[in-house]
A and B are shown apart, each in its own frame.
Chain A
């Protein structure tokens, strides 16, 4: 969407390596959420942040409302991490999705 710019659009990683996804926002957002789309097409909630950082296993996310961005770091990538990742930013009553990052993890 126009309010959210997600990058990169595609990412290829070798197993065991890491990288970061980023979403920039054109306006101040109240919160951000990161999803991964699974093989069946359902969206899996990864993180929800109103500020600061959260970590879960090999994933870590940060959100800075003032600087208008959020990041999702993946470390020690595994084959099962492959999929499409979305950020979604929320203002008071609306949710804006990024266009997604297609991640491929290779052996």
Chain B
């Protein structure tokens, strides 16, 4: 049963546009994450948020920024998308065991 909800499922946009992906978890976890799945289907951590504090920022381009209103929400904003940003982005939450959302597939044309 899904407890980490991501929207949208898919998004197609042009180079230079701004996009925002939403993520909500209903598990009461303190930590949320954003991952990028690359073309080789490898998961790379992008951001980790714990009680509104960014505790990990794995060298991502500055056009990416996490946005959190409370510990149940962690959105991902991309200020000006580039072709190489095309990927699946996964949101997750954890209080030990990690639970993933179903992902958002971004296509930049």
Q: Which residues of A contact B (CB under 8 A)?
A: 1, 31, 33, 37, 40-43, 45, 48, 50, 84, 86, 88, 90, 93-97, 99-100
Size bracket of the B interface: 20 to 34
Whole-angstrom distance between the alpha carbons of A100 and B41 in the complex?
9
* A86 neighbours in B (Cβ, 8 Å): 43
The answer to whether the Cβ of B55 comes within 8 Å of any Cβ in the partner chain is: yes
Contact B50 A93, beta carbon cutoff 8 Å:
yes
Q: Choose from A42, A88, A94 the contact partner of B48 (Cβ within 8 Å).
A: A94
CA distance A95 to B84 in the complex (A): 23
Chain B positions within 8 Å of A40 at CB level: 102
User: Which one of A42, A45, A48, A84 lies within 8 Å of B103 (CB-CB)?
Assistant: A42
Which residues 26-71 of B sit at the A interface, judged by CB distance below 8 A? 31, 33, 41-45, 48, 50, 55-56
Q: How distant is A87 from chain B, measured CB to nearest CB, in Å?
A: 11
CB-CB nearest in chain A for B45: A95
B21 to chain A, nearest CB (A): 16
Interface residues of B in 74-109 (CB under 8 A from A): 88, 90, 94, 96-100, 102-103
Closest to A48 in B: B97
CA distance A8 to B56 in the complex (A): 29
- Cβ B100 vs Cβ A43 within 8 A: yes
CB distance from B9 to the nearest CB of A (A): 10
Contact B41 A84 (CB under 8 A): yes
Give bound CA distance, A74 to B49, whole Å: 34
Q: Apart from A43-B90, A86-B43, A94-B48, what are 6 other A-B pairs with CB-CB below 8 Å?
A: A33-B97, A33-B98, A42-B103, A50-B96, A93-B48, A97-B45
Q: Are B42 and A100 in contact (CB under 8 A)?
A: yes
Contact A88 B103 (CB under 8 A): no
Q: Complex: how many Å from CA A96 to CA B98?
A: 12
A95–B98 contact, CB under 8 A? yes
Closest Cβ of chain B to A58, distance in Å, is: 21
Q: Would you call B102 and A42 a contact (CB within 8 A)?
A: yes
CA distance A84 to B41 in the complex (A): 10
